[in-house]
Amino acid sequence: MRPFLLAVATLASAPALAAPDWLQPVLVGEIDWRQHVSEVEGFDGVTLGRLRVGARAYPAPWLMASGVAEWAQEKPALIDAFVAATLGESLRLSMGMSKTPLFISARDENLEARTIPELSLLAATFWPRRDLGLEAWWAPKTLPVEAWVRVGNGSRSPLGNDNSLPALDARVDGRWGRARGNVDAFWGFRAGAGVHVENAYDRAGIGGIGPQNFVFYRPPPVSGPRSVVEAHARLDVGPVRVLAEGAAAWERRSRDTDGNPNTPREGLPQMESQGASLEVTWVVTGRPRGDGARWPIAPNDPNGMEAFNAGKVPLGAIEVAARVERLWLGRGAPDVQPGGTTGGAVAVRWWMTSFFGLGAAGYVQRYDTAPLEDPGRRNSWLALARATVSVP
């Protein structure tokens, strides 16, 4: 174990030494061992979960540019490509491809730093994910308020939209205690809501996506106005964190009956979906989580280097978590077969250093309707072990 940790430590520190002060390399690597309930839902064994490589540049104290790509796929995919300018102490403007503001669990935390490794069913299903657009962030020093407004293309692609209409994202939070950046505060509270509005053109509606990236519910196409509303609340008390999130979506549908795009389309019944999630985490050892995107650390040796120099394995921080959630999908339309799922997850993570962690997680689901690929089964589970490297 120790030779491997020394190699990881060298990898974590070497880029920082070689790069100029204004350039910050980004590396996220995740190696998984997975066991699925069925080959239909995924392959078992060792796999490269993620490999994100890129850099952040700070040519001026108020200016930042980020470019990150995901390589653990059949084709490289652009994750971040944006420029952000901070004006004063409370306003930031950004332009490019980046995360959309909705959902604490998806927007505010880095994916590799989550206690339960994969997104919740709720966030994986309802979160608009990344988009190309313009965003304004406002967090006045004198008020416990944080707000985002974003105008994007709505297609999740950096290459363009499926129509000429933009998408709008907005979120407003109230925050107190540790949620305002006071890492030494014993408690913290953040609560708020967000909305996503766009106009779709013959696009797949909201479907069910599990932690193994298996689509267990496939809705019909939607066309026309669609909106997603979410609400969230997060309470920190000492080492314990409780996060509750809920969401609802309304999607219009229509179809072309004569093949002429210039004639009115036939309207179809609107489709509705809802979901809720409750997650509890406990930092058993180590400094409790702050409001940022990083994982917990050991207070006396946050980087783990003192233990390395002494020939020891760093103690780091240990965190455990449990989550329950529920989805109702494809409701309200008589011509659509509804779906949904009830799910749960447990996880333990050992954040050994500021750049390396080990963890294990288990996920279970009960589908309302069997997936198309396996009509005779409604239960699902996934066992996951993960090693994570994150620089910086």
Q: How many CB atoms lie within 10 A of CB 165?
A: 14
Q: Is the pLDDT of residue 227 over 50?
A: yes
What mean pLDDT comes out for the span 264-288?
Answer: 94
Determine the 3-state secondary structure of 290 from DSSP. coil
Q: Is the pLDDT of residue 48 over 50?
A: yes
Longest C-alpha distance within the chain, in Å? 76
Cis peptide before 15 (omega within 30 of 0): no
Question: By C-alpha distance, which of 385, 321, 317 is closest to 355?
Answer: 317
Q: Is the pLDDT of residue 18 over 70?
A: no
Q: Evaluate whether residue 43 is within a structural domain.
A: yes
Contact predicate 193/171, CB 8 Å: yes
Task: Output DSSP code: residue 10.
Answer: H
Percent of the chain, pLDDT > 90?
73
Q: Each residue of 133-147: pLDDT tens digit? A: 999 999 999 999 999
Which pLDDT does position 290 carry in this prediction?
A: 87
Q: Is the pLDDT of residue 14 over 50?
A: no
Which pLDDT does position 4 carry in this prediction?
A: 52
Q: Each residue of 308-364: pLDDT tens digit? A: 777 778 889 999 999 999 999 999 999 999 999 999 999 999 999 999 999 999 999
Distance of CA 379 to the CA centre of its chain: 25
Buried b / exposed e over 324-337, threshold 16 CB at 10 Å, is: ebbbbbbeebeebe
Q: Evaluate whether residue 2 is within a structural domain.
A: no
Q: Each residue of 56-108: pLDDT tens digit? A: 999 999 999 999 999 998 888 999 999 999 998 899 999 999 999 999 999 99
Host domain of residue 66: 31-391
Percent of the chain, pLDDT > 70?
94
Q: Is the pLDDT of residue 205 over 70?
A: yes
Q: Is the pLDDT of residue 298 over 90?
A: no
Which pLDDT does position 129 carry in this prediction?
A: 92
Q: Locate tokens 């935390």: which residue?
A: 109
Alpha-carbon Rg of the chain, whole angstroms?
A: 22
Q: Evaluate whether residue 12 is within a structural domain.
A: no
What mean pLDDT comes out for the span 119-130?
Answer: 94
Which pLDDT does position 108 carry in this prediction?
A: 93
Give whole-number Cα distances, 313 to 6, 109, 392, in Å.
Answer: 10, 27, 20
Q: Evaluate whether residue 83 is within a structural domain.
A: yes
**For the purposes of burial, counting CB atoms within 10 Å of the CB of 198, is it exposed (0-12), middle (13-18) or buried (19 or more)?**
buried
Q: Is the pLDDT of residue 250 over 70?
A: yes
Which pLDDT does position 165 carry in this prediction?
A: 85
Helix (H) or strand (E) holding 200: strand 187-204
What CATH number has the domain bearing residue 61? 2.40.160.10
Residue 68 backbone phi and psi in degrees, to 5:
-135, 135
Does the pTM exceed 0.75? yes
Distance of CA 237 to the CA centre of its chain: 23
Number of domains in the chain: 1
Cis peptide before 392 (omega within 30 of 0): yes
Which pLDDT does position 15 carry in this prediction?
A: 46
